[in-house]
Structure 1
Amino acid sequence: MRIKTITAVAAAALMATSFALTGCSSDSSSGDDLVSVNAAEPQNPLVPTNTNENMGGRVVDRLWAGLKYYDGGGTPHNEMAQSIETTDRQHYKITIKPDWKFTDGTAVTAKSFVDAWNYGALGTNAQLQNWAFTPILGYEDVSASPPKAQTLSGLKVVDDHTFTVDLKQPSIDFELELGFAPFYPLPEAAYKDMKAYGENPIGNGPYKFANTGAWQHNVQIELVPNPDYPGGRPAKNKGLRFKMYANMDTAYADLLQGNLDALDVIPDTALATYEQDLGDRAIHKPIAYSQHIGSQPNLAHFSGPEGVLRRKAISMAINREQIATNIFHGTRVPTKDFTAFTLPGFRDGLPGSEVLKFNPDEAKKLWAQADAISPWSGTYQIAYNSDGGHQAWIEAVANSVKNTLGIDAVGAPYPTFKSIRDEIQAKTIGKAFRYGWQGDYPSMFEFLTALYLSTSETNNAGYNSPEFDGLLSKALAAPTPEAAYDIIAQAQAVLFRDMADIPVFDYNVAAGRSDKVKKADVSWSGLFDFENIEK
């Protein structure tokens, strides 16, 4: 899942607010029992189909319940689904549990799901998670510009508790992904003004907004348990406070001082000491999270055959092993593919993956070949958000590229996650940029579809390959997981050939809890298992 960014003036205000917030130790002085966790300002209003970054996503997943949910280990369980029936993995009958309500008191029905999915798929709504509906019959007509239909022909409401889903072809992944945010239901109230709804959302999950002012922009979001939630992940705490930080060093200082209860990003400045600082409160485990460097086709020297050569050259100019050791102390792993190394079906040594290994001589050779097409000029800039703890590794990557290729390469800081995401999404960033993807459901298909499918709104690098799209579709239709993984390997070989972007690191999460918390586990994706945090 997901990514984030603001203006210089707003950033200064945000930083001042963040320091003021942490300086007053709001958690301890207020006397409440909410669990405080690190966060940053979500990019957009909190609408499930339009939230594709993890700062908004971590809140959205608390406010809603889907047909399924994933436990801390990534195992799927039915949540609102009473049953999901299919004989061919193409035609589904879904029955939802009765007597489930949104927090405004209205009933969650089959129509609540079907209407929400149609809204998310409709091209004129420009929802960032639109790609999730690609397998459903009629998606091409609904997502076309202008749309040829207003609703997905593959969705039908049978009665209040039953609906059917027809896919274009069998899918080995469809049922697994039904706990993913784009498949959440929406109440009727949402459609009156979706932007306003996203500022004060009405969900059906284990938490709800604490009050109408629960979202203090650039400061915090407060959630309290939903007393009417009947599902399998009830809150074991009295609520969550998502505290927004402009600097991870500040967040870590708050963790040590007991002013923050749980932190999922230990800053690189503390990686050498955090296990000693925190003792048994330190957390370190492999997760489904990958870090990339992307560039868009409108960036000079990075389109067509020249762009392929330059991306491969830059990739081979990055000494991933050295950076992982010197900066991250084992909490990052040099990546081996375009997904994440903890996912089912991951394979090492894919054809073309040698381009991910440090090879200065080959990097210089490829750069020279690109220069023969169009001589290089200017500075290679890598944009990153300063509120995510990325400065040290981006500068190390830039230095590695500079020293290997003999070009001017630098990091280009943006003050917030929201500001960089806004420019990436608008395709106005005008430089290379770091971005990551954190798993929403445990499947390689999610990473590959979200980031590289030509029609995906979250295809940040603007990659477009009918060959790759076709192989992804073929893999989904495979009869067994192993057959699907074989085809996914072929699809990734195409990504390596085209160097769709530059994968850099997989993650071993470094996180921690304060001494006020007796239990706080990190889930399979690297986010906390928020419902089960206990003070």
Structure 2
Amino acid sequence: MKASRFGLGAVALASAVSLTLAGCASSDGGDSGDVNQTITTNGSEPLGPLITTGTTEVGGGKILTSIYAGLVSYAADGSIQNDVADSIESEDGQNWTVTLKDGWTFTNGEAVTAQSFVDAWSFGATFSNAQSSSYFFDDIEGFSYEEDSELTGLSVVDDLTFDVTLVAPEADWPLRLGYTAFMPLPTIAFEDMEAYGENPVGNGPYMMDGDDAWEHDVQIALVTNPDYDGTRTPANGGVTFKFYTSQDAAYADVLGGNLDVLDAVPDSAFGIFEDEFGDRAINQPAAIFQAFNIPYYLDHFSGEEGKLRRAAISMSIDRTEITDVIFQGTRTPATDFTSPVVDGYSSDLAGAEVLDFNPEEAQKLWAEADAISPFGDSTFDIAYNADGGHQGWVDAVANSIKNTLGIEAIGKSYPDFKSSLEDRVAGTLTGATRAGWQADYPSLYNFLAPLYQTGAGSNYEGYTSAEFDGLLKEGAAAQTVDDATALYQDAQEVLLKDLPSIPLWYSNATGVSADTVDNVEFGWDSVPLYYEVTKG
């Protein structure tokens, strides 16, 4: 990326690692395979139409990242590299000029132009379109959370150039531009966005394999885009994402050679997967955070009583024992709300002791809350999706809470992620809910704004704090990355007091591949680099 004062040189890139399956060759060596062979991997049914600004869950995100190319893309280590962009330049960090490479097209033959980006971003930011990624555009002039308004900070200069004016300087603004919300859209998308999302037309390394590519609740089949000329040229003929109702079933398919790549090892195999797969197994840090949220609308969990109970529940969980016994070294107890692989992570924030196992203090705080309003024989449940391999740890956490506080605590199972999210969105949960986050781009801000900022798309439990929002806004406008980091850490200290979410642990990327494929590498975000995988 070319820059004047601000740009790549001013961006703090994540200290994330490139996750490579030990012993598997990189894409520049080893078995080149057959470029016509389709690889298979695990996935999950997207929650809705595949719309770039409306998809925030991992299952749909993996598809969108495969069929679209943005201004930049992320290398395995989290660094950014120009893709559709020829340059992204600014003199002051607030006024940016984006120049595109010539010759890019969507798979329907339409040219990718500056207007393709401006129209897509404007759609995503429009209040009435109710896009879950709309908050990604709140730093562009003209954005509104309350009404439809024009993004006055976007202006097309010519077919290959557009200008962006931010509300305030942001030294690391280019870092987020590889996320799916910033992808371009063809003109046909705006004729009927919902229908378009069933068979989207992208400009990335892969494209939908015909009108029947998406078999709902079964799989999505992608083939290579012959006209793609970006940084992620596929070494295979396509990717088929198979939807599994359990991780155990997917693991069995990899063992049997019926699935090529699995990016999430079930907890039942934590103790054996490295022995079973040898150099085709991976267990490395990744930008993944696991927690559970307690809605403020529940009885006993708002006001001073709620603050006491949230802290008591947090301190009643023996995170070290659970990560050792249940996860067998594939998780690390949380000390904040982000990830150790992202620059700016801290293990000694003020108030982080609320994440320590402290039964005596937990019981004391619970008794203080009971003095305000007795919890009595109420049950504390934790909702989770059964298809995500969460039952083991949810039961362990519930037992830890039960044993410490002497209350009835149980897991509440939903068949899949989609159904578990429905009650969260509707505000009808009967207790807590599993809540994880896999980073969209390598930044502290991305772990905080989408989940806890007032009105953010993934802030399903409705947390709001003027103090937190203010610190987040200051951090986003900071002139240096160090200044921004300090403010984001201050914002986390607010979260440690309020505990809208109870941090549990950071996940390692645990994955395996069958002997049917080579050149398997996982990125900083724990997602395999599908385009590098060879087969045959």
- Quick check: TM above 0.5? yes
User: Helix, strand or coil for the counterpart of 1:175?
Assistant: helix
Distance between the aligned counterparts of 1:449 and 1:367, measured in 2? 30
1:264 is aligned to 2:268: no
Partner of 1:305: 304
Partner of 2:21: none
Residue 533 of structure 1 deviates from its aligned partner by 1.4
Distance between the aligned counterparts of 1:426 and 1:231, measured in 2? 41
The structure 1 residue matched to 2:84, chosen from 73, 80, 83, is 80
Letter in 1 for 2:37: D
Alignment of 1:479-494 (within 5 A): 479-494=479-494
1:65 is aligned to 2:69: yes
Deviates more, 1:458-467 or 1:43-52: 458-467
Distance between the aligned counterparts of 2:187 and 2:467, measured in 1? 40
Partner of 1:42: 46
Distance between the aligned counterparts of 1:453 and 1:132, measured in 2? 11
Alignment of 1:405-444 (within 5 A): 405-444=405-444
User: Helix, strand or coil for the counterpart of 2:164?
Assistant: strand
Residue 299 of structure 1 deviates from its aligned partner by 1.7
Distance between the aligned counterparts of 1:407 and 1:468, measured in 2? 32
Q: Is the 8 A contact 1:461 1:501 kept in 2?
A: no
Distance between the aligned counterparts of 2:520 and 2:416, measured in 1? 26
Residue 159 of structure 1 deviates from its aligned partner by 1.1
Q: Is the 8 A contact 1:294 1:460 kept in 2?
A: no
Distance between the aligned counterparts of 2:525 and 2:199, measured in 1? 26
Cα gap change, 1:373/1:172 in structure 2, threshold over 3 Å: closer, same or farther? Answer: farther
Q: Is the 8 A contact 2:323 2:329 kept in 1?
A: yes
Partner of 1:468: 468
User: Helix, strand or coil for the counterpart of 2:522?
Assistant: coil
Distance between the aligned counterparts of 1:444 and 1:508, measured in 2? 18
The structure 2 residue matched to 1:53, chosen from 57, 69, 86, is 57
Q: How many residues align?
A: 499
Q: Residues 36-56 of structure 1: CA distance to partner in whole angstroms, max 9, x if unpaired?
A: 101111111100100000000
Alignment of 1:57-456 (within 5 A): 57-140=61-144, 143-144=145-146, 146-147=147-148, 149=149, 151-377=150-376, 378-456=378-456
User: Helix, strand or coil for the counterpart of 1:199?
Assistant: coil
Letter in 2 for 1:275: E
Q: Is the 8 A contact 2:455 2:462 kept in 1?
A: no
Q: Residues 211-266 of structure 1: CA distance to partner in whole angstroms, max 9, x if unpaired?
A: 11000000000000100011111111111010000011111110100001011111
Distance between the aligned counterparts of 1:440 and 1:236, measured in 2? 24
Residue 275 of structure 1 deviates from its aligned partner by 0.7
Q: Is the 8 A contact 1:266 1:511 kept in 2?
A: yes
User: Helix, strand or coil for the counterpart of 1:139?
Assistant: coil
Letter in 2 for 1:328: F
Q: Is the 8 A contact 1:128 1:457 kept in 2?
A: yes
User: Helix, strand or coil for the counterpart of 1:48?
Assistant: coil
Deviates more, 1:320-329 or 1:452-461: 452-461
Partner of 1:512: 512
Distance between the aligned counterparts of 2:441 and 2:211, measured in 1? 30
Residue 486 of structure 1 deviates from its aligned partner by 1.4
Unaligned 5+ residue runs, structure 1? Answer: 1-31
Q: Residues 104-158 of structure 1: CA distance to partner in whole angstroms, max 9, x if unpaired?
A: 1111111110111111011111101111011111112xx31x43x2x21111111
Distance between the aligned counterparts of 1:309 and 1:365, measured in 2? 9
User: Helix, strand or coil for the counterpart of 1:456?
Assistant: coil
1:499 is aligned to 2:502: no
In the TM superposition, structure 1's runs of 4+ consecutive aligned residues that sit over 6 Å from their partners are: none
Q: Which has the higher helix share?
A: 1
Residue 466 of structure 1 deviates from its aligned partner by 1.1
Q: Is the 8 A contact 1:67 1:81 kept in 2?
A: yes
Partner of 1:8: none
Q: Residues 339-388 of structure 1: CA distance to partner in whole angstroms, max 9, x if unpaired?
A: 11110111111001000110001111111122222211421010000001
Q: Is the 8 A contact 2:287 2:340 kept in 1?
A: yes
Residue 304 of structure 1 deviates from its aligned partner by 2.2
Residue 488 of structure 1 deviates from its aligned partner by 1.4
Unaligned 5+ residue runs, structure 2? Answer: 1-35
Letter in 2 for 1:265: A
Distance between the aligned counterparts of 1:353 and 1:533, measured in 2? 41
Distance between the aligned counterparts of 1:126 and 1:258, measured in 2? 42
Identity %: 48
Residue 455 of structure 1 deviates from its aligned partner by 2.3
Q: Is the 8 A contact 1:316 1:363 kept in 2?
A: yes
Distance between the aligned counterparts of 1:295 and 1:530, measured in 2? 36
